[in-house]
Structure 1
């Protein structure tokens, strides 16, 4: 009887603590996902009651006639590759510098981290003002032609502008991840390497970088996911222009759903986008995990 009561109590505790979480997951994730699967097979404007089931027509259109999706995919992949590389290289460089015995390192860490706590929408509007009004004023003072360029009106410069703002805004967050990783490396290893004559870049690539792999795994996972999902900066800086040159996948989905009123088609694009992010991030995490070593 005691065993039965103990078992019953354990099951009761399990359901008391697990059931609320399961209900939340069901309402917040599973049901919306199943509804998205259904809407991706329909023709619907997202508002009206008339929902027409069209099967796989949305996916067929996406893979056959929608050239805009291919352009947005290429932009997103190019932006993602460059953003991941520039952000992580810059963050690692800053982390190495700011782990040295500098008197102002605490102030510098805070200065680099502050842009990360500001809303991306606000960041976008601030930089839009900088690229237009501030650069115009600087050109009148300095007469440097670089300030007269159309940073948001030219296709190539608009891409560069978005990339620079994204790196500037996020680098402080990843810098802190790398600083934490660097501080967890035993100082004895660096001292032993110095005695053996392993210094500078050679010590960084042979000792520091391999031991920094756990931080690299986390940072690359976040930068890849955030790069593929980029929306706020593009929405506020260029709105996908000029001529759709800076339209990301998320911006393309937004336009289909809320500009073209093709909610079913946008949902089909969203599902494929989720699959793309899942495949890339799973491959990245498995690859980086295989490279991790223990101190």
Structure 2
């Protein structure tokens, strides 16, 4: 009993610093944001002015840019999730084959993920603006002469492309781990039963990848809804505010416009939306997993 009490005391003692840090960095700022969302405050004056729910009414008024940023974030999230997971599965299936350069190719795909998203954004900004222009002069391919960051629709797809390119290697690694965990005897049994390679993949391998798919879909969802760095480096929300994500809009409202009250209200609304969506997606994906 004495030893158990000592171990319990040590466990509590070692977790107290973590609890204190999480409380200071997450819970207290979250509560303060809830308070500031009910006020009008520029971040400088000593006393925030209480205005009730006026900030939340402003958010969903016709003149609010926040709704537009939510729509952009939603479209970006859908495309990011689809392309990231579909391409990652396709590449992972290719890389688990007996290829001599498979390990080298895995490393090449993973390198962009370990790079800073801001650096990746600046690199691709240079490629879209100057690299494509040089290639157009040498090849004459018309799409290289398009204004990828200067037109609304093209800028959106450019941001999606860079986001998928940067994070693809991470999802490939997760899917490779899932593919290697698929029991070989199950695949061999399917082959004996006469299943073709396509049927083995869609009827056996893909259902057994359920846990990996759930993890990758959930992580791609959370990474997409909080997109910030790449857009800031690539377009800064342009052209004409067409690529403002929700996080970039919150940052602009609070730290550029010095409207901490409205910025806090936007962050709370965005938090609730993300919480609901992630829980629904996670529940749906978990219900579709197949147990072996």
TM-score (norm 1): 0.95
2:85 maps to 88
Q: Please show how residues 117-136 of structure 1 align to structure 2 within 5 Å.
A: 117-136=114-133
2:242 maps to 245
Root-mean-square deviation (CA), in Å?
1.5
Instruction: Supply the distance in 1 between the matched residues of 2:180 and 2:167 (Cα, whole angstroms).
Output: 21
2:24 maps to 27
Q: 1:167 aligns with which of 164, 168, 180?
A: 164
Q: CA deviation at 1:250?
A: 0.8
Q: 1:227 aligns with which of 224, 228, 231?
A: 224
Q: CA deviation at 1:259?
A: 2.0
Residue range with higher mean Cα deviation, 56-65 or 11-20? 11-20
Instruction: Supply the distance in 1 between the matched residues of 2:212 and 2:91 (Cα, whole angstroms).
Output: 14
1:236 maps to 233
Instruction: Supply the distance in 2 between the matched residues of 1:48 and 1:133 (Cα, whole angstroms).
Output: 45
Instruction: Supply the distance in 1 between the matched residues of 2:8 and 2:168 (Cα, whole angstroms).
Output: 47
Instruction: Supply the distance in 2 between the matched residues of 1:259 and 1:21 (Cα, whole angstroms).
Output: 32
2:50 maps to 53
Instruction: Supply the distance in 1 between the matched residues of 2:5 and 2:101 (Cα, whole angstroms).
Output: 60
* Partner-residue secondary structure (3-state), 2:65: helix
CA contact (8 A) 2:58 2:64 kept: no
Structure 2 CA distance for partners of 1:209 and 1:49, relative to 1, 3 Å: same
Structure 2 CA distance for partners of 1:219 and 1:8, relative to 1, 3 Å: closer
Q: CA deviation at 1:6?
A: 6.2
Q: CA deviation at 1:80?
A: 0.5
Q: CA deviation at 1:97?
A: 0.5
Q: Please show how residues 155-194 of structure 1 align to structure 2 within 5 Å.
A: 155-194=152-191
CA contact (8 A) 2:179 2:209 kept: yes
2:276 maps to 279
Q: CA deviation at 1:28?
A: 2.0
Structure 2 CA distance for partners of 1:65 and 1:107, relative to 1, 3 Å: same
Instruction: Supply the distance in 1 between the matched residues of 2:67 and 2:12 (Cα, whole angstroms).
Output: 47
Q: CA deviation at 1:287?
A: 1.1
Q: CA deviation at 1:9?
A: 4.0
Q: 2:103 aligns with which of 103, 106, 126?
A: 106
Q: CA deviation at 1:255?
A: 1.3
1:40 maps to 37
Q: 1:211 aligns with which of 202, 208, 213?
A: 208
Q: CA deviation at 1:257?
A: 1.1
Q: CA deviation at 1:24?
A: 2.2
1:294 maps to 291
Instruction: Supply the distance in 1 between the matched residues of 2:4 and 2:142 (Cα, whole angstroms).
Output: 78
TM-score (norm 2): 0.96
Instruction: Supply the distance in 1 between the matched residues of 2:167 and 2:11 (Cα, whole angstroms).
Output: 40
